[in-house]
Amino acid sequence: MSTTWHILGAGSLGTLWAARLARAGLPVRLILRDEARLASYQAAPGLTLVEQGVAHTYPVIAETPDSPQPIQRLLVACKAYDAQNAVAQLQHRLAPDAELILLQNGLGSQDAVAAQLPQARCIFASSTEGAFRDGDWRVVFAGHGYTWLGDTGHPTPPLWLDDLEAAGIPHEWSTDILTRLWRKLALNCAINPLTVLYQCRNGELQAHQCEVATLCAELSELLECCGQPAAAVDLQHEVERVIHATAANYSSMYQDVANARRTEISYLLGYACQAAARHRLNLPHLQQLHVRLVDELLARRLPHD
């Protein structure tokens, strides 16, 4: 009998994973916020995943954090700012050798969760898949991609990667997951805050090439100082490539702000600035960018942490 996949958070990525695992016949249980969210879910026919315009509904079983069953494997699919509290609510249910897969973007939340659960195995993930909610319990699979998974403490891949294979979730075990997460964080810091400040699509940053280049130089310095030289290699070229390749897109941070949603700033640009301060690195443009972004969020009455 396969181990149950408990999925914490039935948002975009949680639903994308839950639907594909359930479709492959694997045991899945969703953990929803509270009784009210559970009642709302139970009034729906299940989780609906829309792929290439075709919707399929999967009647995945759901529960609240108060449910009594022990948890052996937990996919944490909340936003970075919710992960630590959401996992804390489940701490009493986690088996001593439980495994957690942390899907959060940026850095900081993974270490916070791992520190709270010294016995558990925490696997960090970095995903280029894209999904968004277009209704309650309904998610659109918008961008095919890859998920890299890795464990900074133990290089051995877990056996359940076979489940991902069976579910058709493109993935790769990575022995340098921190480098991947730092690289993605640096790309995000060079692009996303500017799209919020200039209120533009990614491609319009081509008109701000000098500013982007200055940020890339400071981010490269930071990566090297933080022991991540591989994440700094050719950063500016990759940032320019991403700006070009995603020219028509609005960044995730732009979309969060446009929809008056909380951003993950503290785990992206905020994390980078804190790391710079820890290393007594003076990165004036990055720090100024952080101040400008915080001011913009305050002006829009959005959380700035």
- Give the active site residues: 184
Of residues 170-209, those binding ligand NAP (CB under 6 A)? none
CA distance 10 to 36: 14
Residue 82 touching ligand NAP (CB under 6 A): yes
Tokens 């639903």 — which residue? 15
With respect to ligand NAP, which residue has the nearer C-beta, 213 or 258?
Answer: 258
**Identity of residue 285:** H
Q: What Å distances lie between residue 101 and 29, 124, 158, 167, 271, CA to CA?
A: 15, 6, 11, 16, 21
Binding mask 105-134 for ligand NAP (x = CB under 6 A): x---------------------x-xxx-x-
Question: At its nearest, how many Å lie between ligand NAP and the CB of residue 230?
Answer: 21
Least distance CB 3 / ligand NAP (angstroms): 20
C-beta separation of 127 from 170 below 8 A: no
Closest residue (Cβ) to ligand NAP?
Answer: 11
Interactions with ligand NAP, residue window 138-157 (CB under 6 A): none
Among residues 185 and 223, whose Cβ is nearest to ligand NAP? 185
From candidates 4, 12, 214, 251, binder to ligand NAP by CB under 6 A: 12
Residues between 33 and 72 with contacts to ligand NAP, criterion CB under 6 A: 33, 37
Question: Which element (helix H / strand E) includes 168?
Answer: none
CA dist 303 to 9, 84, 203, 298, Å? Answer: 21, 18, 27, 7
In whole angstroms, the minimum distance from the beta carbon of 251 to ligand NAP comes to 11
Question: Which of 80-88, 114-122, 198-206, 280-288 is the region at the interface with ligand NAP (rule: CB under 6 A)?
Answer: 80-88
Told to check if 9 binds ligand NAP by CB under 6 A, we report yes
What is the three-class DSSP state of 63?
A: strand
Q: In the chain, how many H helices and how many E strands?
A: 12, 12
235 closest CA partner among 289, 293, 177, 182: 182
Contact partners, residue 299, CB within 8 Å, separation at least 6: none
Write the binding mask 233 to 272 for ligand NAP: x where contact by CB under 6 A, - elsewhere: -------------------------------x--------
Asked if 174 and 180 count as a contact pair (C-beta separation under 8 A), the reply is yes
Q: Provide the minimum distance between the beta carbon of 45 and ligand NAP in the complex, in angstroms, as a whole number.
A: 17
The yes or no reply on residue 80 touching ligand NAP (CB under 6 A) is yes
Which residues lie closer than 8 Å to 32 by C-beta, 6 or more apart? 10, 38, 41, 62, 63, 64
- Whole-number Å distance between alpha carbons of 276 and 257: 25
Q: Toward ligand NAP, which CB reaches closer, 208 or 261?
A: 261
By C-beta, is 49 or 283 nearer to ligand NAP?
49
Residues in the chain: 305
Residues near ligand NAP (CB under 6 A): 8-14, 31-33, 37, 77-80, 82, 86, 89, 103-105, 127, 129-131, 133, 264
